[in-house]
Amino acid sequence: MAGETTGAPEAPDVIAQLIEAAPALAGVPYDVARGQVVFFPTREEYLRVAAALKAASFVMCSDLTAVDYLRHLDRPLPPAVAGERFEVVCGLLSIERRQRVRLRVQVPESDPSCATLFYLWPGSEAMEREAYDMFGIRFLEHPDLTRILMPEDWEGHPLRKDYSVGRVPVQFKDAPGPR
């Protein structure tokens, strides 16, 4: 059992068991709140950690989304994690272990891009497209990174915090104005 973890001085059992199953998790900052396990891999570690979790029976990517922390850049995070504007949040599910693990990846505003999970879990395809559509986070090597909910000629990414509700008066660029 790898004993080296950051965060709390003593790793809870659930973390120790996960590290035993997926050694790549050792050293990745974590958090356990209300029984939910969260890991904070860096962008570089993200795919490696995800693949290790997949090998450790996390066969489903049940959820993938993003959060824009524009107003909370100083939010509380484990000490080793530097908060960035965006976070890609990915929920993994193990049927065998009946367990969920969440990955929160910091994505900077200057380069909102992140690896795609498509090649591990093809089911993340639509969810990554949605995150791209809503937040403008580019998932590198995603096979079809186009807008999914908004029209393809839409400008801006609606769920960003600097995109206000009702700010856009006309819906389509070439729409004829009111007579």
Q: Which stretches of the chain bind another protein, using CB under 8 A?
A: 33-34, 36, 43-48, 50-52, 54-55, 59-63, 65, 67-68, 71-72, 75-76, 89, 91, 95, 98, 100, 102, 110-111, 113-115, 118-127, 130, 132, 134, 138, 140-152, 158-159, 165
10 Å Cβ neighbour count for 106?
20
Pick between residue 15 and residue 105 the one whose CB is nearest to another protein.
Answer: 105
* Half-sphere exposure in the Cβ direction for 64 (13 Å, CA): 25
Pick between residue 3 and residue 165 the one whose CB is nearest to another protein.
Answer: 165
Distance of CA 116 to the CA centre of its chain: 10
Angle formed at CA 164 by CA 179 and CA 76, multiple of 5 degrees: 170
What the block records as the tokens of 168 is 């856009």
Q: Cβ of residue 32: shortest distance to another protein, in angstroms?
A: 12
Pick between residue 2 and residue 36 the one whose CB is nearest to another protein.
Answer: 36
Query: Are 111 and 84 contacting, i.e. CB atoms less than 8 angstroms apart?
Result: no
Pick between residue 70 and residue 80 the one whose CB is nearest to another protein.
Answer: 70
Q: Cβ of residue 10: shortest distance to another protein, in angstroms?
A: 22
Backbone φ, ψ for residue 134 (5° rounding): -85, -30
Q: Cβ of residue 179: shortest distance to another protein, in angstroms?
A: 26
Q: Cβ of residue 95: shortest distance to another protein, in angstroms?
A: 6
What the block records as the tokens of 157 is 């990414």
Which residue from 125, 86, 2, 87 is spatially nearest to 52, judged by alpha carbons? 2
Pick between residue 122 and residue 172 the one whose CB is nearest to another protein.
Answer: 122
Q: Cβ of residue 3: shortest distance to another protein, in angstroms?
A: 23
